[in-house]
Structure 1
Amino acid sequence: MTATAAGPALTVVVTRLGIDGGMDRVVEAMAAALADRGEDDVQLVCVTTRGRLGKLLSPLVFAGALARCLVLGLSGRADVAHLNLATRGSVLRKALMERVLSLAGVPVVVHLHGANFDDYYAACGPLMQAAIRGLFRRAACVVVLGSHWQDFVTRIAGPEVMTAIVYNAVPRVAAATEREDGNVHLVVLGEVGERKGTDVLLDALSLLRGRGIGGWRCTIAGNGAVERFRARAESLGLSGLVTFPGWLDAGAAKMLAGRADVVVLPSRAENLPMSIVEAMAAGKPVVATPVGAVAEILHDGVEGRLVPVGDAAALADALAGLIGDREARRRMGEAAAARHAADLDSGVFIERLVAVWRKAAGRAA
């Protein structure tokens, strides 16, 4: 650990799944934002906890991650650890990592992800609930993605738990030039399935078609139940209007978002989805549901539209309004870009995290 003008340098151990999902994109955003700062006061050491080797071999990957954390801690090469937490297996992995890191004298910051972590906690048995509460209570800080999740942590673990709201973030990106086909391009980025509201969206698009509202195309990009919903789109007469390209890597997803006119995410459960943050970074209006922390960054009629969960008719109305009003799309897109610059830009994000890490390391001193 070396000293810099900004203060004592920190080495931060950060967990990643190694499967290029939403949490890994957050870690990539951390690394990119640190590089853009142009300072060497913080170094990230990424530790993969699951990887792409399948269920049989993933325990070996995790065992290697535990061993690496222990070595980094005992050798004094880790000042703080940042554990990205979701549901199910992630809870067990991070609880074990926290114990190992604590034994090695490394303070832990827990970063709560997971679209339905509150529902997951409520469905857990007493022992798992106690493990989750203990993880939050032992953490130097619990980073959450909005006040909804801050209230949840405080409610289950107590007001003495240190929390910090840090919204997900990405750098500002330039929007693509308008396409020549004249259609309004609706884009969905995320896992294809009921949780993301793919069924509701297809019903809404069917309503648009039934009302004779044309001039649009929709791309639903992501893994999951792609074939099932492609078949459903065909049964609704949408095969010429809706495409399912499947999973896209980060570069292709960013390019697709940049070419969108409206980004749509009618989810039933979310924390703070990266696809919405990326849309706002590109200056795109968003149509979404007020789940998780979404309503904290997206205000109805300002940066886009908020519609009730599961309401295909309301979603169709919101989409119809934007499809037919280019000026509204422009106005809401500009508001989305302004909101991104104020709270969702990578520079804002990383400075808030660095402050959390420094405070955590100081608490351990």
Structure 2
Amino acid sequence: MHEKSVKVRHYLAGGREFAGGIGRLVGYVVDAAGPDQAHRLSDTRGPRWSPPRSLPRLGLALAAMLGDRIVAPGRIHHIHVAGRGSTIRKLILARLARAIGCTHVLHLHDNDYAADLAARTPRQLARIRRMFQGADRVVVLGHRDRATVVEHLGVAPSRTLVLRNCVPDPGPAGPPDRPVPTILFLGTLGPRKGVPELLAALASPAMTRLDWRAVLAGDGAVASYLREAARLGLGERVSMPGWLGRAEAGALLAGADILVLPSHAEGMAMAVIEGLAHGRAVVATRVGAHEEAIEHGVNGLFAPVGDAEALAATLARLVVDPALRARLGAAARASYLERFSMGAYIGRLGALYGSLAPAPSGLLERKTT
């Protein structure tokens, strides 16, 4: 069956605009698939969790699944799941999918699903196991997550697929044409992303004696961190523009020298892949599947989680050494083209869909001729 004839519906909280990295990834997939592919999206929560607004959204997603079973019985239902409330909503969706016989894929995006499972009650854990074991396929971001679903949830290894995140190719980019290096952070401003340590690192003596500027772009506690930056004496060197769209974030990446993401927990951060795609020197932490994307000293650098002093030393090393930035950036771009391009991702995803899609019946064939 040709992959262009496969119909897919994605289920994710917040849709393309309010689902963070998951929303960006699904948006990239939908855009790359083109007008001939039948990808539809169902928002299961809305911009943020609010029972009066979120429960009707979930109800509409369930209704869409029921309607598809009648009017598009061959549609594949791609359910994107993370921890906490996301799992609860997806338990409801996956139970309906099993009950009415929908082909469905579970796509795990959580930053530490094993820890989330450890906090569940035995009854919840049993339901989550049934959900994952009942899916036609389970997609994970890296080998750590594959071990979680196989060892903790009992999913057969043959029914799992490691599919690392990807981003569209921004094209080759030369070094930014500015004398003062720019350090860029992309993500929600908060402790999980390591923003307190990042500000502490930027305010350390190792960094304040050097010339640089930094942009921390993302939603979250922006006003609070602006006050903290001012308190640390960084007000003239650090800007926080808030949440940015894809084009604005791309422009920042094109003009940056260093992409930093000192997270405490991640799955496979989209910002890291975007840094690789733009050929920037990437500084990250050894969390989630980052070690499957970055080789320390080859296409990026790692800093220890929560260690502001070590992060400052790593950033300072890059600020004073443009040759190192250029070498890491060139290797980052090469690794993106080899392992994280949209073409490779869409090809593997299309193969997955094609393996699950039913062959057209004779009746359907007669209707389409």
State the TM-score, normalizing by the size of structure 2: 0.91
Give the C-alpha shift of residue 179 in structure 1. Answer: 5.3
Partner of 1:151: 147
What is the aligned partner in structure 1 of residue 226 from structure 2? 230
Amino acid in structure 2 at the alignment position of 1:185: T
Q: Report the Cα offset of residue 277 of structure 1.
A: 0.9
Any unmatched runs of 5+ in structure 2?
Answer: 362-369
SS at match of 1:168: coil
The answer to whether the 8 A contact 2:80-2:106 is kept is: yes
Work out the percentage of aligned pairs sharing the same amino acid: 35
Q: Any unmatched runs of 5+ in structure 1?
A: none
Kindly indicate whether residue 249 of structure 2 is the aligned counterpart of residue 253 of structure 1.
yes
Indicate how the Cα distance of structure 1 residues 53 and 153 shifts in structure 2: closer, same or farther if over 3 A, else same: closer
Offset at 1:332?
Answer: 0.7
Deviation string, structure 1 residues 56-108 (Cα, Å, up to 9, x no partner): 21111110111011110122344311101012221121111112222332111
Distance 1:290 1:211, change over 3 A: closer
CA distance in 2, matches of 1:354, 1:163: 15
Tell me the equivalent position of 1:86. Answer: 82
Moved more, 212-221 or 329-338: 212-221
Does residue 22 (structure 1) correspond to residue 21 (structure 2)? The answer is: yes
Answer whether contact 1:175 1:258 (CA < 8 A) is retained: no
C-alpha distance after superposition, 1:136-157 (max 9, x if no partner): 1011111001111111111112
1:167 and 2:164 matched: yes
Counterpart-to-counterpart distance in 2, 1:180 and 1:340 = 23
CA root-mean-square deviation: 2.1
The residue number in structure 1 matching 2:186 is: 189
Q: Deviations over 1:156-195 (max 9, x none)?
A: 1225251100011011114666555511100000010110
User: Which region of structure 1 is more displaced relative to structure 2, 74-83 or 270-279?
Assistant: 74-83
Aligned mate of 2:202, from 182, 201, 205: 205
* 3-state secondary structure, aligned to 1:81: strand
Q: Which residue of 2 aligns with 1:111?
A: 107
Counterpart for residue 12 of structure 1: 8
Distance 2:180 2:349 in 1: 40
Q: Structure 2 CA distance, aligned partners of 1:8 and 1:288? A: 37
Query: What letter is aligned with 1:72?
Result: D
**Which of residues 37, 46, 52 is equivalent to 2:47?**
52
Match of 2:267 among 268, 271, 285: 271
Q: Relative to structure 1, is the Cα distance of residues 179 and 156 closer, same or farther in structure 2, using a 3 angstrom cutoff? A: closer
- CA contact 2:3–2:354 (8 Å) conserved in 1: no
Q: Is the 8 A contact 2:282 2:299 kept in 1?
A: yes
Instruction: Note if contact 2:74-2:103 (Cα within 8 Å) is conserved in structure 1.
Output: no
Match of 1:74 in 2: 70
Q: Structure 2 vs 1, CA of residues 356 and 256 (structure 1 numbering), >3 Å: closer, same or farther?
A: same
